[in-house]
Amino acid sequence: MPALAIWSPEDEVLGVVAPLALGAAAGTALIVDLDEHGPAYPGHTTLASLVADGPTKADLVPQRRGIAVVRNGGVEAEAAEQVLRALVDGWPAVVFRLPADHMGGDGAIPVLPLIPGSMLDRSAGPAIYQRSGWRVRVPEGGVVLPRPSRGTISALLTGRAPHPGDRWIRAWRRVWEQSWE
């Protein structure tokens, strides 16, 4: 089962919506927040409760097409390792949302705004780049996403599914298709 870990060290809103968009692009996916202080995604299930009580069969496989989100609930990723493996085994696609201060170097993919200048200290390597209002030379080795519509971002931030044909969501499919090794 494919699983990808992403984080956005430079843009908090992108850090919240990117995992949801990546999951939506897969069609059916589980988004798991590994940030102990992550956003209050909608839903009742938390990673902390899955670790404490153990996952049910309904937690381990999709109940319907679309995305499901597991908020963190205040548990460290290391304490959830067994649960995370079980979720990856049961779901067709899993997106792990990492905290903004994640150090990288472990195969996780950064999601970075494409902005001018070199003031930000960015490490070399593959990344997902989000276009903004500037025309900027695109770095090699990554996926460049078009600018999302306000309606798409609004839908994701309010817990609604974006339009299935949305061009920004379709562009995220390239992330699943790319080799990140």
Per-residue pLDDT tens listing for the chain (181 residues): 699 999 999 999 999 999 999 999 999 999 999 999 999 998 889 999 999 999 999 999 999 999 999 999 999 999 999 999 999 999 999 999 999 999 988 999 999 998 887 666 666 678 999 998 888 887 888 899 999 999 999 999 999 989 878 999 999 999 999 998 7
- Residue 121: the pLDDT is 61
Residues 117 and 134: beta-carbon distance below 8 Å: no
H or E segment to which residue 97 belongs: strand 94-97
| Tally of residues, the chain | 181
What is the per-residue pLDDT for 62?
96
Q: Which phi and psi (to 5°) does residue 137 adopt?
A: -60, 135
* pLDDT, position 117: 77
Q: Which residues contact 175 (CB under 8 A, 6 or more apart)?
A: 4, 22, 25, 109, 128, 143
DSSP H or E segment with residue 112? strand 109-114
User: Which pLDDT value is given to residue 147?
Assistant: 96
Spatial CA neighbour of 18 closest among 144, 125, 156: 156
SS3 for 41-78, per residue? CCCCCEHHHHHHHCCCHHHHCCCCCEEEEEECCCCCHH
Q: What is the DSSP letter of 46?
A: B
Tokens (6 digits) for 168: 């920004």
Task: Determine the straight-line distance between the first and last CA of the chain, rounded to whole angstroms.
Answer: 16
The Cα 78–Cα 124 span in angstroms is 27
Its pTM stands at 0.94
